[in-house]
């Protein structure tokens, strides 16, 4: 239960290998229905190192989802640069795999056909893609459910299918937007374990957008804390907890300290967010 020190492991390979993704001065503005401009993101800059697990955490309204959509290539018209392996993002990039927050399995396909989807698009032959898909189905712990349909599965299982589907496209960077938001705490922790396991196995670079501090500390190498709107990088925290980790780490002292530290940062921003919402609701006359 000793506090993890830097001698246990090196900081993420920022020195050893070049960053796999660079976000440089990213800014994003939207026009609201009322006519004014809202600055969702302002001067966001960070690097993502190969093989690392980076969580981005922030209060509601900090632009997390905007960041997700920009990096995923679903949103254009941004200022600044986002590059992956040197290439600028202009549309969905083949090295980036997205896992969405909402229910996103195809209800008309069974589990293995869902997971095989990216392979089907890439033109892989039927037998081979089913085999490869089964591998990923197994990886997320859904052995035996290959022929089932999403309507027969629980919410957590369906999210695992979505994840397996994205993993099947073997992206260099896995980009996830609050994939466990709709699940209960216990399922979250267990799925978190699964994700850790997979990430270790594949040495998968992962970007996780979340509002859940426990989850972020449990899973990440580094955590990026964002400010309330306009979203900026408030702080980047190195999580020096030992690997391999499991959900048991949640009870350790060091864990608690990281959570407290991040919460104190977040609290400021979350409070600002709440008072901002309240004052806006007051002015527009709708109940908060």
Partner 1 sequence: MAEVGRLTRATPAQPWLTPVLLLRVALVLFALVAWQVMAVSGWFYRDVIPSLPKIWTALVKLLSSTDFYWNLGVTFEEIVIALALGGIGGIVAGLIVGGNKFIASAFEPYLYYLGPTPKIIFFPVMIMWFGVDSGSKIAMGALSCFFPIALNVAAGMRQIDQVLIKVGTSFRANWWQMTMKIYMPAMRHPIVNGLRLGLGVALIGTLLAETKLSNRGIGFLVIQAYNSFDMPRLYAVLLVLFMMAIGINSVVAHFAKLDEIKQK
Partner 2 sequence: MSAGALTLRRFAPQAVGLGSLVFLLVAIEILIRLGLINRFIIPLPSEVIASFGRVVAEEDIMDRFWQTAWECLASGVLLTVFGIILGVAMHGLPLFRRACETWVAAFAAAPLVLAYPLFLVLFGRSSLTIIMLAFLSGLPPVILKTIEGLSATRRVLLNVGRSFKLTPAQQFWKILLPSALPTIFVGIRLGLIFALINVVGVEFLINFGGLGKLINELAERYDLPGVYASICFVILVSVVFFVATERAERWLKSAA
Chain residues that interact with partner 1, rule: CB under 8 A = 25, 27-31, 35, 37, 43, 76-81
- Bridge-based pairing of strands 53-57 and 222-226 is parallel
- In the bound complex, what is the minimum distance in angstroms from residue 39's beta carbon to partner 1? 8
CA-to-CA dists, residue 68 to 2, 82, 99, 175, angstroms: 36, 12, 10, 7
Options 50, 97, 156, 231; binder of partner 2; rule CB under 8 A: 97
29 binds, options partner 1, partner 2, none, Cβ within 5 to 8 A by partner type: partner 1
92 binds, options partner 1, partner 2, none, Cβ within 5 to 8 A by partner type: partner 2
Establish if 179 lies at the interface with partner 2 (CB under 8 A).
no
Distance, CA of 205 to CA of 190 (rounded, Å)? 20
- Looking at the chain, the number of H-run helices and the number of E-run strands are 8, 10
* Residue closer to partner 2 (CB basis): 136 or 255: 136
Establish if 107 lies at the interface with partner 2 (CB under 8 A).
yes
Per-residue burial over 129-152, b = 16 or more CB atoms within 10 Å of its CB, e = otherwise = bbebbbebbebbbbeebbeebbee
Tokens 């990430």, residue located = 199
Establish if 206 lies at the interface with partner 2 (CB under 8 A).
no
- In the bound complex, what is the minimum distance in angstroms from residue 93's beta carbon to partner 1? 18
Distance, CA of 258 to CA of 238 (rounded, Å)? 9
* Residue closer to partner 1 (CB basis): 89 or 241: 89
What lies within 8 Å, CB to CB, of 197 at 6+ separation is none
Options 18, 76, 79, 92; binder of partner 2; rule CB under 8 A: 92
- In the bound complex, what is the minimum distance in angstroms from residue 199's beta carbon to partner 2? 19
Q: Which stretch binds partner 2 (CB under 8 A): 10-18, 46-54, 87-95, 127-135?
A: 87-95
* Residue closer to partner 1 (CB basis): 80 or 141: 80
Closest to 82 in 3D by CA, of 18, 25, 13, 19: 25
């Amino acid at each position: 239960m000793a506090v993890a020190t830097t001698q246990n492991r090196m900081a993420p390979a920022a020195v050893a290998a070049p960053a796999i993704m660079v976000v440089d001065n990213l800014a994003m503005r939207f026009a609201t229905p009322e006519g004014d401009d809202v600055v969702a993101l302002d001067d966001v800059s960070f690097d993502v190192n190969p093989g690392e697990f980076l969580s981005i955490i922030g209060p509601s309204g900090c632009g997390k989802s905007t960041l997700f959509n920009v990096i995923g290539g679903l949103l254009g018209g941004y200022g600044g640069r986002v590059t992956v392996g040197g290439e600028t993002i202009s549309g969905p990039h083949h090295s980036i795999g997205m896992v969405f927050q909402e229910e996103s399995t195809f209800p008309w396909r069974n589990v293995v056909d869902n997971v095989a989807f990216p392979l089907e698009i890439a033109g892989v032959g039927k037998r081979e893609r089913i085999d490869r898909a089964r591998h990923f189905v197994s990886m997320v712990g859904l052995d035996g459910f290959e022929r089932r349909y999403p309507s027969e599965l629980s919410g957590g299982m369906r999210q695992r299918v979505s994840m397996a589907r994205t993993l099947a496209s073997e992206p260099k960077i896995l980009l996830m937007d609050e994939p466990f938001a709709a699940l209960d705490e216990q399922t979250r922790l267990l799925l978190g374990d699964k994700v850790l396991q997979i990430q270790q196995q594949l040495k998968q670079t992962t970007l996780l957008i979340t509002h859940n501090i426990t989850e972020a500390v449990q899973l990440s190498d580094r955590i990026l804390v964002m400010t309330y709107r306009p979203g900026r990088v408030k702080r980047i925290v190195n999580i020096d907890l030992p690997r391999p980790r499991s959900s048991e780490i949640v009870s350790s002292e060091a864990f608690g300290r990281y959570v407290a530290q991040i919460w104190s940062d977040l609290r400021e921003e979350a409070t600002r967010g709440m008072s901002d919402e309240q004052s806006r609701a007051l002015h527009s006359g709708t109940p908060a």
